[in-house]
Amino acid sequence: MDDETLDLVASVYELVVKVGVYRAPSAKVIENSQRDLNSAFMNELAFIFIKMGIDTFDVLKTAGLNGIS
């Protein structure tokens, strides 16, 4: 959110992480990459399920997932 929040969160982590904490200016690229990878993985699974005649949404429901993010 801001430098003050970053320092506060980092100080909490530094209580348990003895090797130090890297104060990155933003983790947005990591969040976006994770979301993209999850979506791509789910799309690939959906293609496989279609070829197998399996309803993707039934699999997601059974796995406890609400849908493709």
Does 58 map to a domain?
A: yes
Is the predicted pLDDT of residue 68 greater than 60, yes or no?
Answer: no
* Domain assignment of residue 68, yes or no: no
b or e along 19-43 (b: 16 or more beta carbons within 10 Å of the residue's beta carbon)? eeeeeeeeeeeeeeeeeeeeeeebe
Average of per-residue pLDDT values in the chain: 86
In a domain, 67, yes or no: no
- Is 33 among the domain residues? yes
Angle value at C-alpha 67, between 63 and 69, nearest 5 degrees: 120
Whole-prediction pTM value? 0.51
Token pair recorded at residue 67: 């849908």
pLDDT at 21: 87
Domain-embedded: residue 69: no
- Residues near 60 by Cβ (< 8 Å), separated by ≥ 6? 66, 67, 68
Q: Using the predicted structure, report yes or no on whether residue 54 has a pLDDT greater than 90.
A: yes
Query: What pLDDT was estimated at residue 66?
Result: 61
Domain count, the chain: 1
Strands (E), 4-64: none
Q: Is 40 helix (H, G, I), strand (E, B) or coil?
A: helix
Please check the confidence at residue 31 and state whether its pLDDT lies above 60. Answer: yes
- What integer pLDDT is reported at residue 67 of this predicted model? 52
Q: Which domain holds residue 38?
A: 3-62
Judged against a pLDDT cut of 90, whether residue 50 lies above it is answered with yes
